[in-house]
Structure 1
């Protein structure tokens, strides 16, 4: 199947493809092909869990925590997934995994959260295909606050020291997210998802877009508010998230070529320039997300925010991070807080200069951030949707 055929076949997904192909060559063809690819290993596990019920889920949970070797006669699909997960690629720096994502740990939690919400998640939901799937689940627009919290917890667990070591919370939750994607994929296909128009639900290109929303998208946003990172830090950041991509089942062809923001920006431009225009689903999700984030900002003990102030701040940041054209299309209005953003950026930049002036100062700032991040991981005491999905009976 040629990329030209895909451009016609997936009319709901690809626009401006020939122009993108002229700029990006084979990378554009690769991206187009990946619209037709899901995650066979995870999809097989979902089918197996449907057959085995609770017993299968118990085996899966035990395997994720204690490893494949701890299971006696594991079912074939679960065994295959665990074998892939536990085959650590040669490019993984095991010592770095113990440290976690030290670059993300250096970012103040409040600004990290704001960049993730107004930058990353708004960008994720700006894909009509992703938005269409999420709205069809009937969950996100009515449970946005819960999903915002859960996604944030998973992100934090993935950056903490040792979080991606086998059996650790970040490792387990990343695989749970992967399996939830597979469940949503199976459900959408059963409900008549238009594969020929939209491609496979939560396909490899969708997962790549999500991966970019944890790397270039939030850190580009952070740079706009005075929290830029060095080239050396970029290298460290991407190497950490390579492994997250591996655990998510993302094809290495998407992430291994990326070592810095410039290289990631090229992939982001390819994905964004071929994405269909924003629609009503993207607007519904964005408004639900911003409403939920207002709730979160105001609910923190000792929060300085009132609801009107929180909303204006989020509107301003969304317009800064996404640009006026996208913000207008999403229905995000202009905000008087826009005039204050340069002051925030200047203050953040000055604070960061002091925090990194010596190794001891940088370590102290990282330790303070980690204390807050760890506290935030306890904000869903009854477990996340990812965890509940895996625990659920068949």
Structure 2
């Protein structure tokens, strides 16, 4: 068994490091007297899911050119393998994102302060979650990470948004240095863990069977995304075992109860109930968070108590499966995760994202594979 390289001394150093390339681009815009250009940038970041080079100043077009190349170690065949896994288990992956990865990220008491200070989740609790789900689709859709793919542009946008948030937070005077540098390299590595390892573990909790090769292929996709979003090579996990070791250390170092994390979790549960039709699945998100993350972390986030009898009988009766599945909890969870995930995706497709914003996008190939209805 190899030694754990994720020591406290190692990660402490990365806790004070941001993303120089993106940070310098944003800093030059704001400090160079180009207020109008900076406003154009922020409007693009907030209103558009994709950055359109022709509509950006030259400095930002140069940023896009410098950050769109995949790393030399990216393997197209492995990326396609990861995309195929997402094509097979997409709805369940969305459930794992909503009920595993995102609440896990909210449990990191210092990292969650960035979201709280931007106040975006408090003023528009659904928009940020929708943006996160859209990025998941963009990155893992077929050819999302191919040259010119939607996943590459989505990662570039998020990277630039991170830099803009860092600049504004540091200028605000409200940041506590004890939290580390805003959206630092360690927190970015923790986010990579959430979107890769946490989703994989969530899928297994939801009854999906993944080989070690499939797990590493899915992680490989997110390592490519991590590179595109400015993560340094030193903090990219080597494989799924290395990622699991990092996940354990991040949890030990940073998972604490916080009012901010609890507020984010409440908003997440409310959104899940808002976008799924009727009242049939009310309480399902909370129950699945407890199922995926466990009681300790769920209590930390003040997730409502699970009542599986109450939350399962109604949906299963609708599916005509109550009589033969209530006695097998694993089959119950697997079946409901698939249905609940599809309803979540359909709800996001139909949901109005606000004036001037494009609808939630899902490629037709994935719609057909997942049997997702919508406009």
> Where on the TM-score scale, by shorter chain, does this alignment land: which range?
0.7 to 0.9
Q: Deviations over 1:169-207 (max 9, x none)?
A: 221111111111111111110111445311101111111
| TM-superposed deviation, 1:310 | 2.6
Q: Which residue of 1 aligns with 2:305?
A: 334
Q: Which residue of 1 aligns with 2:198?
A: 217
1:319 aligns with 2:290: yes
| TM-superposed deviation, 1:236 | 1.3
Report the secondary structure of 2:207's partner residue: coil
| TM-superposed deviation, 1:114 | 1.6
Q: Which residue of 2 aligns with 1:45?
A: 25
Q: Would the alpha carbon gap of residues 140 and 64 (structure 1) be closer, same or farther in structure 2, given more than 3 Å must change?
A: closer
Report the secondary structure of 1:151's partner residue: helix
Q: Deviations over 1:242-265 (max 9, x none)?
A: 11011110111222x4322x3211
Specify which of 5, 11, 18 is matched with residue 31 of structure 1.
11
| TM-superposed deviation, 1:167 | 2.9
Q: Which residue of 2 aligns with 1:281?
A: 260
1:168 aligns with 2:153: no
Q: Deviations over 1:277-313 (max 9, x none)?
A: 2111111111111111111222xxxxxx51xx43321
Task: Please tell me whether the aligned partners of residues 83 and 218 of structure 2 are also in contact (alpha carbons under 8 angstroms).
Answer: yes
Distance between the aligned counterparts of 1:107 and 1:320, measured in 2?
A: 18
Q: Which residue of 2 aligns with 1:133?
A: 114
Q: Would the alpha carbon gap of residues 240 and 25 (structure 1) be closer, same or farther in structure 2, given more than 3 Å must change?
A: closer
Q: Which residue of 1 aligns with 2:276?
A: 297
Q: Would the alpha carbon gap of residues 275 and 132 (structure 1) be closer, same or farther in structure 2, given more than 3 Å must change?
A: same
1:243 aligns with 2:217: no
Q: Deviations over 1:205-248 (max 9, x none)?
A: 11111111111111101111101311111121122111101111
| TM-superposed deviation, 1:86 | 3.9
Q: Which residue of 2 aligns with 1:16?
A: none
Q: Which residue of 2 aligns with 1:94?
A: 76
| TM-superposed deviation, 1:36 | 0.1
Specify which of 63, 82, 105 is matched with residue 124 of structure 1.
105
| TM-superposed deviation, 1:377 | 10
Give runs of aligned pairs for residues 1-394 of structure 1, distance below 5 A: 24=4, 27-50=7-30, 51=32, 52=34, 74-75=58-59, 79=62, 81-82=63-64, 84-94=66-76, 97=79, 101-109=83-91, 111-255=92-236, 257-260=237-240, 262-275=241-254, 277-298=256-277, 305-306=278-279, 309-337=280-308, 343=328, 345-346=330-331, 376=349, 380=353, 382-383=356-357
Task: Please tell me whether the aligned partners of residues 238 and 258 of structure 1 are also in contact (alpha carbons under 8 angstroms).
Answer: no
TM-score with structure 2 setting the length: 0.76
Q: Would the alpha carbon gap of residues 191 and 337 (structure 1) be closer, same or farther in structure 2, given more than 3 Å must change?
A: same
For these two proteins, the number of residue pairs brought into alignment is 326
Report the secondary structure of 1:89's partner residue: coil
Report the secondary structure of 1:33's partner residue: helix
Task: Please tell me whether the aligned partners of residues 124 and 210 of structure 1 are also in contact (alpha carbons under 8 angstroms).
Answer: yes
